[in-house]
């Protein structure tokens, strides 16, 4: 719905209302009537257009329903009648035009209505007069210009009518008064309009000012905002600058790091190169190393060859040495035997001589008195004593000096030492006649370097000797020292002719029991070691003599015996060396390890410390000969089971650990003694067989024997 243009005549005084002014040019009456109509129309329009839109809509018209005594339909009809172009709006022109038409058509009827209204309170007859008066009044009003000033002219009209009726002479003055009043009112009205106009202007000015202020404010806000933005920008800029600076610093740092990395890379490369060089050098060194190793190997092979050669040479030398030793031993032995045989023979002859002399003396002085008899017996004692000393002086010059030498070497007094080597008994005493005073100084010098337990010569003792001489009561007993002397002096001359000096001294006597007539085809040197009192000497005795005597003396120095055993059909001679177990003789014992073929370590199974010492013995053997020598470990005194301190298992374990042959035996009962020795002999023989060395030809003894015989 298109809105009508406001400018067409929204305001009074606008072109739409110029009709009023143009109407002023018309005849006074006509104009006055039309103006009144127009005014009414204007008022009505304004009443309808409450909001001052400048036009009236259908709804505006319908609002009048409450104020006017007209139905909605009537109002609709009025609107349609006024809306000349039927666009739904009533412009002020349309409204005025329509209203004028409406007015002119209904003028007469309206005037009638007015008259009726005026006459309702007065006389019915004066109706017509009233109409005239009314017209006159209207004219007067128009003349005075009251329409412009008065809104309600009914009071004035009534007053005017009253005056006209009652005081007609005052009417003119009243009219003048009214004229003056109206003119004043007109003036006041105009003034008011002017004021209104001024007010409007002022309002406009205010509006303008406000507008201006508003604009100014907006400007200010804008500038503020700009300033703020500027500040913000500045801040942002500062921040960004800062960031830039930071970035720059970071970049510099990065640059530095880059440089550093480059430097490191350079170093890395250098190191890499170095590594390569080192690697090359390493390879070179490795090659050199390999070459050297090869050379070393070659050299070591050569060395080995040389060693083997040396070894074979050594073995050869050893063999030669052994042969020589054997020869020396055999010569010495036969010489000793010969000597001791001769000495014994001499002693025997002396004894016989003494006896004969005694007998002669006895028979010569038979008839002499008892006094003379006593004197003869005294002389007898003196002569025996003398013979004992004389024996050394006369026949044993060399021997004695030898004995003295021995004394120098082992000047340790020994209470119950065995008799000296090859020495005939150094003491001679008849058990019955022995005097304690003379006995001690004679026994004291009994020392030996090699103690050979001189065997009593049964052949010599067997014969015709008297009881005290042939069989010493102590022989079966414990003492070894005192026994042998007297016993040896006993051989009867009658038995000696069968070559008493040919009889082997001690050892051979027993060894011959086992040795077959055939000569042994090899010889092994075996040494007995072990703490003192473990029973080495006893074992040796058991082996060579098959005899045991309790309480034998401790060995001094070294002693040896030869025993021949039959190993699997062949004769093997064993040179059995008995050593002294006491601590002070260790250095001598050590000397004897050098050339041994086998070692027998003995411990006493009733004495723990003797077992504990086995390891020391082993190490001193190894020190001297290395571990190439077979070792037999013997736990002795098995017969004394009650006092056993070393369990069998320990001995076995130790033997196993050190690769030794092991037996527990008893020198007392003879249990396991021969078996163990046979085991060792077999081992030695087999070892020698495997090595396939030239067997030691033991043909010399035959030669010597024949020589000695
Ligand atoms: N019951 C018993 N006693 C023994 C046995 N063997 C040796 N004896 C005794 O042990 C003691 C020492 O014996 P020896 O044969 O002299 O000992 P050793 O090893 O030769 O001593 P040293 O010569 O000092 O090294 C003696 O009293 C022997 O009687 C044995 O098998 N059983
Ligand atoms: Ca219209
Ligand atoms: Mg001994």
- Summarised one tens digit per residue, pLDDT across range 91-114 is 888 888 877 776 666 554 444 444
Indicate if the pLDDT at residue 385 is higher than 70. no
Instruction: Flag whether pLDDT at 514 surpasses 70.
Output: no
Return the pLDDT at 474: 34
* CB-ligand 1 contact for 557 (6 Å cutoff): no
Of 180 and 541, the structure prediction assigns the larger pLDDT to 541
Percent of the chain at pLDDT > 70 equals 67
pLDDT score recorded for residue 380: 42
Residue 23: band (very low, low, confident or very high) from pLDDT cuts 50, 70, 90: very low
pLDDT of residue 471: 31
**Looking at beta carbons, which pairs linking 140-149 to residues 24 or more positions away fall under 8 Å?**
140/175, 140/178, 142/28, 142/32, 142/36, 144/175, 144/178, 144/179, 144/182, 145/182, 145/183, 145/186, 146/178, 146/182, 147/35, 147/36, 147/39, 148/186, 148/189, 149/182, 149/185, 149/186, 149/189
3-state secondary structure 552-600: CCCCCEEEEEEEEEEECCEEEEEEEEEECCCHHHHHHHHHCCCCCCEEE
More confidently predicted of 703 and 290: 290
Quote the pLDDT of residue 662: 97
- The ligand that comes nearest to the alpha carbon of residue 88 is 2
Q: State the distance from the centre of ligand 2 to the C-alpha of 55, rounded, in angstroms.
A: 9
Check residue 94 and give its pLDDT: 83
| pLDDT for 72 | 82
Q: What is the spatial distance between Cα 125 and Cα 635, in angstroms, rounded to a whole number?
A: 193
- Give the residue whose CA is nearest to atom 14 of ligand 1: 535
Cα 91 to ligand 2 centroid, rounded to whole Å:
6
| Whole-prediction pTM | 0.36
Supply the pLDDT for residue 636: 97
Distances from the Cα of 496 to the Cα of 504, 508, 709, angstroms? 13, 17, 14
Q: Which residue has the tokens 């309702």?
A: 120
Q: What is the pLDDT of residues 633-684, one digit of tens each?
A: 999 999 999 999 999 999 999 999 999 999 999 999 999 999 999 999 999 9
Question: Is the pLDDT reported for residue 564 higher than 50?
Answer: yes
In percent, the amount of the chain with pLDDT more than 90 equals 31
CA distances from 604 to 550, 578, 673 (A): 15, 16, 14
pLDDT at 145: 72
- The finding on whether 25 has its CB within 6 A of some atom of ligand 1 is no
- Ligand 1 centroid – CA 453 distance (Å): 14
Shortest-distance Cα residue to atom 29 of ligand 1: 550
Identify the weakest region by mean pLDDT among 116-120, 272-276, 588-592, 607-611: 116-120
Give residue 695's pLDDT. 42
Q: What pLDDT is recorded for position 366?
A: 75
| Distance from C-alpha of 454 to C-alpha of 684, rounded to nearest angstrom | 29
3-state secondary structure of 450: strand
Q: Are 406 and 449 in contact (CB under 8 A)?
A: yes
- Using the 8-state DSSP alphabet, how is residue 535 labeled? S
Of ligand 1's atoms, which has the minimum distance to the CA of residue 555? Answer: 23
Give tens-digit pLDDT for 143-176.
777 766 667 778 888 888 888 888 888 888 888 8
* Least confident range of 23-27, 176-180, 355-359: 23-27
Residue with the bigger pLDDT between 333 and 402: it is 333
Residue 13, pLDDT above cutoff 60:
no
- Model pLDDT, residue 605: 97
Atom 27 of ligand 1, residue of closest alpha carbon: 551
Least confident stretch, 39-53, 178-192, 373-387: 373-387
Distance from Cα 415 to the centre of ligand 3, integer Å: 14
Q: Is the CB of 540 under 6 A from ligand 1?
A: no
Q: What is the pLDDT of residues 179-214, one digit of tens each?
A: 888 788 888 888 888 999 999 999 999 889 899 999
- The pLDDT score that the predictor gives to residue 367 is 63
Instruction: Give CA–CA dist 635/654, Å, rounded.
Output: 12
Query: What's the confidence (pLDDT) of residue 29?
Result: 65
Average of per-residue pLDDT values in the chain: 72
**pLDDT at residue 540 in the model:** 95
Rounded CA-CA distance 611/703 in Å is 44
**pLDDT, tens digit, 9 for 90 and up, residues 587-602:** 888 877 878 999 999 9
In terms of residues, how long is the chain?
A: 709
pLDDT value at position 168? Answer: 82
CB of 459 within 6 A of ligand 1: the answer is no
Average the pLDDT over each of 349-358, 441-450, 647-656 and give the range with the smallest value: 441-450
Indicate whether 124 pLDDT > 70. no
Burial 304-341 (b: 16+ CB within 10 A, else e): eeeeeeeeeeeeeeeeeebeeebeebbeebbeebebbb
- Predicted confidence at residue 478, as pLDDT, reads 32
- Bridge partners of 519, per DSSP, are none
pLDDT of residue 244 exceeding 90, the answer is: yes
Ligand 1 test: best mutation among 535, 585, 636, 645, most atoms within 8 Å of CB? 535
123 has pLDDT over 50? no
Confidence (pLDDT) at 344: 72
**541 contact partners, CB below 8 Å, separation of at least 6:** 453, 547, 548, 549, 552, 667
* CB 395 less than 6 A from any atom of ligand 1: no
Q: Which range has the worst mean pLDDT, 554-563, 607-616, 653-662? A: 554-563
pLDDT for 328 = 78
| 393 contact partners, CB below 8 Å, separation of at least 6 | 400
Weakest mean pLDDT among 120-124, 307-311, 678-682: 120-124
ipTM score here? Answer: 0.96
On the question of pLDDT at 442 being above 60, the answer is: no
* Ligand 1 pocket check for 582: Cβ under 6 Å: yes
The whole-number pLDDT of residue 253 equals: 95
In this structure, are residues 118 and 161 in contact, taking their beta carbons and an 8 Å threshold? no
Give the strands of the sheet with 661-664, arranged side by side: 558-567, 570-579, 522-529, 598-604, 631-636, 661-664
Range scoring the smallest mean pLDDT among 12-16, 210-214, 252-256: 12-16
Determine if ligand 1 sits within 6 Å of the CB of residue 554: yes
Take atom 8 of ligand 1 and give the residue whose Cα is closest.
Answer: 535
**465-500, pLDDT tens digit by residue?**
333 222 333 333 333 333 333 333 333 322 222 222
Q: Which one has a higher pLDDT value, 423 or 288?
A: 288
Q: How confident is the model at residue 585 (pLDDT cuts 50, 70, 90)?
A: confident
Q: Is the CB of 668 under 6 A from ligand 1?
A: yes
């Amino acid at each position: 719905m298109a809105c009508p243009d406001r400018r067409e005549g929204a305001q009074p005084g606008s072109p739409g209302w110029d009709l009023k002014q143009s109407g002023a040019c018309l005849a006074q009456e006509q104009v006055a009537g039309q103006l009144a109509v127009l005014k009414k129309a204007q008022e009505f329009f304004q009443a309808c257009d409450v909001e001052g839109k400048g036009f009236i809509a259908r709804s505006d018209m319908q609002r009048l329903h409450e104020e006017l005594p007209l139905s909605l339909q009537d109002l609709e009809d009025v609107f349609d009648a006024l809306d000349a172009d039927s666009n739904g709006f009533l412009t002020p022109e349309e409204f005025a035009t329509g209203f004028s038409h409406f007015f002119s058509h209904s003028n007469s009827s309206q005037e009638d209505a007015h008259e009726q209204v005026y006459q309702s309170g007065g006389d019915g007859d004066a109706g017509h007069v009233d109409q005239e008066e009314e017209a006159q009044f209207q004219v007067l009003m128009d003349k005075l210009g009251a329409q412009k000033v008065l809104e309600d002219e009914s009071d004035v009209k009534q007053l005017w009518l009253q005056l006209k009726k009652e005081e007609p002479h005052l009417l003119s003055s009243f009219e003048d008064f009214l004229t003056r009043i109206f003119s004043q009112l007109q003036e006041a009205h105009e003034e008011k309009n002017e004021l209104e106009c001024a007010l409007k202007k002022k309002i406009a000015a205010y509006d303008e000012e406000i507008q201006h202020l508003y604009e100014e404010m907006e400007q200010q806000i804008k500038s503020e905002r700009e300033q703020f933005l500027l500040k913000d920008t500045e801040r942002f800029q500062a921040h960004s600058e800062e960031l830039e600076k930071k970035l720059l610093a970071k970049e510099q740092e990065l640059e530095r790091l880059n440089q550093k990395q480059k430097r490191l890379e350079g170093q890395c490369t250098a190191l890499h190169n170095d590594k390569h060089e080192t690697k090359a050098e390493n390879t070179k060194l490795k090659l050199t190393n390999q070459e050297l190793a090869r050379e070393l190997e070659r050299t070591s092979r050569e060395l080995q060859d040389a060693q083997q050669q040396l070894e074979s040479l050594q073995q050869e030398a050893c063999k030669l040495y052994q042969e020589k030793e054997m020869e020396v031993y055999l010569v010495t032995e036969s010489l000793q035997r010969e000597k001791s045989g001769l000495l014994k023979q001499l002693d025997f002859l002396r004894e016989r001589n003494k006896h004969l002399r005694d007998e002669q003396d006895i028979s010569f002085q038979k008839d002499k008195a008892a006094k003379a008899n006593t004197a003869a017996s005294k002389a007898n004692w003196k002569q025996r004593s003398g013979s004992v000393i004389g024996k050394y002086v006369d026949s044993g010059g060399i021997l004695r000096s030898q004995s003295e030498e021995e004394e120098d070497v082992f000047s340790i007094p020994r209470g119950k030492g065995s008799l000296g080597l090859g020495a005939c008994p150094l003491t001679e005493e008849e058990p019955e006649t022995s005097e304690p005073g003379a006995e001690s100084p004679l026994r004291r010098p009994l020392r030996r370097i090699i103690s050979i337990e001189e065997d009593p010569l049964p052949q010599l003792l067997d014969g015709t000797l008297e009881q005290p001489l042939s069989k010493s009561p102590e022989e079966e007993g414990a003492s070894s020292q005192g026994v042998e002397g007297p016993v040896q002096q006993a051989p009867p001359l009658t038995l000696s002719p069968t070559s008493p000096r040919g009889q082997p001294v001690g050892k051979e006597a027993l060894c011959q029991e086992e040795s077959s007539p055939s000569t042994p085809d090899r010889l092994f040197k075996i040494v007995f070691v072990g703490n003192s009192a473990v029973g080495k000497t006893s074992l040796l005795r058991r082996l060579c003599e098959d005899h045991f005597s309790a309480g034998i003396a401790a060995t001094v120095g070294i002693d040896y015996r030869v025993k021949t055993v039959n190993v699997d059909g062949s004769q093997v001679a064993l040179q059995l060396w008995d050593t002294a177990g006491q601590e002070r003789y260790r250095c001598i014992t050590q000397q004897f390890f050098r050339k041994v073929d086998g070692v027998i370590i003995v411990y006493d199974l009733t004495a723990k410390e003797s077992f504990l010492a086995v390891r020391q013995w082993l190490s001193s053997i190894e020190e001297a000969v290395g571990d190439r020598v077979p070792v037999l470990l013997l736990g002795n005194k098995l017969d004394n089971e009650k006092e056993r301190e070393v369990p069998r298992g320990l001995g076995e374990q130790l033997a196993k650990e050190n690769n030794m042959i092991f037996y527990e035996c008893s020198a007392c009962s003879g249990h396991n003694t021969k078996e163990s020795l046979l085991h060792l002999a077999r081992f030695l023989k087999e070892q020698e067989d495997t090595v396939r060395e030239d067997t030691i030809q033991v043909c010399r003894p035959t030669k010597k024997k024949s020589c000695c015989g």
